[in-house]
Amino acid sequence: MIEIPARPFPCPFEPGRTALVVIDMQRDFVEPGGFGASLGNDVTRLHAAIPPIAALLAAWRARGWPVLHTRECHRPDLSDCPPAKRERGEPTLRIGDPGPMGRLLVAGEPGADIIPALYPAAGEWVIDKPGKGMFWGTGLHERLQAAGITHLVFTGVTTEVCVQTSMREANDRGYVCLIVEDATESYFPEFKRAALEMIVAQGGIIGWATPSAALLEALAP
C-alpha cells in the first residue's frame, strides 16, 4: 500500500488493484465541430488535461496496471437516448445529428471516438456509456469486481458532469476514489473549481484530489 499526498489528507493507493479511469476524452468533446462546440463551448479549454493524462497513461502502462476509457455515445437508432436528454437546450446540433465528424455522440462515428493523443492501447477497457456516469447501463461494476479492482484514479472531462458523476457512482459502490486535478478539465473553470471542492469537502465525502506531479512522484520508487 502506498500513500499519495492529496486533499483533504493522504490517499491510500493499492498497486495493481487501482485502475486509471479516463473519462470521455472524445473528439466530440475536445475538437471543433463536435457536440461540445455545438453547445457554444470553447473546446480548447479542455486541452490542458491532455499532457497530464498522457503522463499517467504512460506510468500505468509501464507497470501493467489496469486502464479503462469511457465514451459517452448512443446507439444509431438513439433508443438509449431519452428525449429529455436530446431535446434540452438550444445547441446548433443535437445528439444524433450529422456533423463534421459524423453523427454527434453516436457509437461508431469518428467524433465519438477517443482523441489520437490518448487512444487506448491493446487490452485496455473501452466502456461505451449512454449516460453521464460510467456505471449506468454498462455492467462496469461487475467487471471491476471480477478483476479485483478496489481503487480508481479519475481523469478526463468534464469535471463537473461526467467525471464527478462517475466518481460519485463509484463512491456509492465502495471504491476508493482519487481525482487528478490537472488531468481533468471543464469548459467553465469555475465549475471545475467548485466540483473539486465538493469532492474533498467534509473529510473527503466523495474522495481525494491531487495534482499529477504528486501522484507520479509517489509512484516513482
Catalytic residue chosen out of the listed positions 11, 24, 73, 81: 24
Question: What are the backbone angles phi and psi of residue 199, rounded to the nearest 5°?
Answer: -65, -45
* 105-138: b (≥16 Cβ within 10 Å) or e: bbbebebbbbbeebebeeebbebbbbbbbbbeeb
Distance, in Å, from the CA atom of 48 to the CA atom of 107, rounded to the nearest integer, reads: 26
Told to judge if 113 belongs to the known catalytic residues of this protein, a careful annotator would answer no
Residues contacting residue 202 through CB under 8 Å, at least 6 positions apart: none
Q: What sections of the chain are H helices per DSSP?
A: 27-30, 35-38, 50-63, 83-86, 140-146, 164-172, 189-204, 212-219
Told to judge if 129 belongs to the known catalytic residues of this protein, a careful annotator would answer yes
Catalytic residue chosen out of the listed positions 11, 73, 162, 177: 162
Catalytic residue chosen out of the listed positions 11, 73, 113, 129: 129
- Residue 185 is placed in which grid cell? 478539465
Told to judge if 128 belongs to the known catalytic residues of this protein, a careful annotator would answer no
The DSSP letter of residue 159 is: I
User: What positions carry a catalytic annotation?
Assistant: 24, 129, 162
